[in-house]
Amino acid sequence: MSDEHTPTYVEQGKEFDRDMNYVPDRITRGGERPEHGPVDGELWPVERDRYRLVAAKACPWANRAIIVRELLGLQGAISLGMPGPTHDQRSWTFTLDEGDVDPVLGIHFLRDAYDRRFPDYPRGITVPAIVDVPTGELVTNDFPWITHDFFFEWRDHHKPDAPNLWPDDLREEMEQVMQRVFTEVNNGVYRCGFAGSQDTYEAAYDRLFDALDWLEERLADRRYLMGPTITEADVRLFTTLARFDAVYHGHFKCNRNKLTEMPNLWGYARDLFSTPGFGDTIDFDQIKAHYYVVHTDINPTGVVPKGPDAEVWHTAHGRERL
């Protein structure tokens, strides 16, 4: 039984169902209608130094935003606040900062930014989140659109050699690939880990490894998911792969095999890890602390595993041949 400040994720007898209701506001060039996608909330104008990305290294969804910010060279336009790896039902907290307070926002709980915009915000306090620094209010926590808009709407602030993460000629196929990666892999590991019955767990397990087998085959003759260059699809898959052996294999019972036992996926993951903007955003100690400490309904002792050895990520990948 959990106390009032301990998150619970497993519902007995039920399949895990992710709450995908996020604050739908978007930051766009000039605050005008965006180039792609829906307008279900308010539009905020792109402004250098106005916004703060709050993104914990422990969280795979937040890790995406950190990577894309790095790849596009947006560090000088959007500041980064990083909460610590553990939290309770109240909020992510800035325990890595001096005095446990974010030095720009001046808050200890990320919830404060949510409540400032929406008093007594009723949903989960999630990362990544973008906060309007002048008001201290949440702008959005809609993670798929945050990275999308970093590419399309913040182009005036990209570094000169920023990669084309959304190639026009690949967009349709890439959307299909990313949808399958999201439902079957990114979210698939959570469906395994938070399954409330044997049947829902086994169904989730089969779906996950069907998708991983598909990816293993897809990466046999191409360096990245969409071909010879890195795209948003690779960012989205990488954050799950980086956590697979350290967390999902054991903690979430995704244990048909380890990532290190799938040659193409393992080589691909190490290839990305060695690419600036990817591996340097990964902190395995924070990742393990988050999952094994926060998920008390799965790991009530709070014991954090010592392994696996992170040095294997620095071994040669051999993917240049592709």
Among all residues, which ones are annotated catalytic?
Answer: 59, 190
Residues in Cβ contact with 61 at an 8 Å cutoff, skipping those fewer than 6 apart: 126, 127, 128, 143, 239
Quickly tell me which residue has 């790991």 as its tokens: 299
The pair phi, psi for residue 16, each rounded to 5°, is -65, 135
Quickly tell me which residue has 């008390």 as its tokens: 296
Give the Cα separation of 252 and 274 in Å (integer). 26
Flag whether 313 is marked binding. Answer: no
CA 226 to chain centroid: 20
The two counts, helices (H) then strands (E), for the chain are 9, 6
Q: Which long-range contacts (CB under 8 A, 24 or more apart) does 40-43 make?
A: 41/140
Pick left, alpha or beta for residue 33 (phi over 0 → left; psi -120 to 50 → alpha; otherwise beta): beta
Residues in Cβ contact with 70 at an 8 Å cutoff, skipping those fewer than 6 apart: 276, 277, 280, 281
Q: Are 65 and 146 within 8 A, CB to CB?
A: yes
Tell me whether residue 222 is exposed, middle or buried, using C-beta atoms within 10 angstroms of its C-beta: 0 to 12, 13 to 18, 19 or more: middle
**For residue 303, what is the DSSP state?**
P
The pair phi, psi for residue 52, each rounded to 5°, is -125, 125
Residues in the chain: 322
Give the Cα separation of 40 and 217 in Å (integer). 38
Give the Cα separation of 246 and 311 in Å (integer). 12
Give the Cα separation of 259 and 219 in Å (integer). 14
| Binding-site annotation: residue ranges for glutathione | 92
| Binding-site annotation: residue ranges | 92
